[in-house]
Amino acid sequence: MKKKDILDRTDIEKLVNRFYAKVKHDDLISFIFTDIAKLDWDKHLPVMYDFWEGVIFFTSTYKGNPMTSHRKLNEMVKLKAEHFDRWLLLFKSTVDENFDGEKAELAKQRAMSIAMIMQLNIG
């Protein structure tokens, strides 16, 4: 069955929900989200929908500063290269499992850039 590209907000929500379902069960990084950041998923997921919608479709619905929040998180637990690598692996595999096309490739490219920029700037 041919996968479709990421076309709209509904697809963004599908991607984000499936990605974080993996994150929540990952033995390397789940503790960062659940035990350290203590995310309220009902609040966090809509923020991530806005963030990724902006990243992929260039909308301006996201309001926030991810660098600031990740710097604060890094003060609580040292975010290491292997954490970013796993985050990226989970994200890219979620995209690949669910979508195929120009926007799907853009999402993966942007995720790689975000991981690299975060690593360079939080240390």
Instruction: Tell me the pLDDT tens digit for each residue of 15-59.
Output: 999 999 999 999 999 999 999 999 999 999 999 999 999 999 999
pLDDT at 1 over 80: no
CA 67, CA 96: separation in Å to the nearest integer? 26
CA 123, CA 79: separation in Å to the nearest integer? 8
- pLDDT score recorded for residue 123: 66
Q: What is the helix (H) or strand (E) element at residue 48, kind and residue range?
A: helix 41-57
Instruction: Tell me the pLDDT tens digit for each residue of 60-113.
Output: 888 888 899 999 999 999 999 999 999 999 999 999 999 999 999 999 999 999
8 Å CB contact between 102 and 5: yes
Domains of the chain, residue spans:
9-122
- pLDDT score recorded for residue 29: 98
Closest residue by Cα to residue 48 from 35, 58, 62? 62
- pLDDT score recorded for residue 56: 97
- If one looks up domain 9-122 in CATH, what number appears? 1.10.490.10
**Main-chain phi, psi angles of 84, to 5 degrees:** -65, -40
Model pTM above 0.75: yes
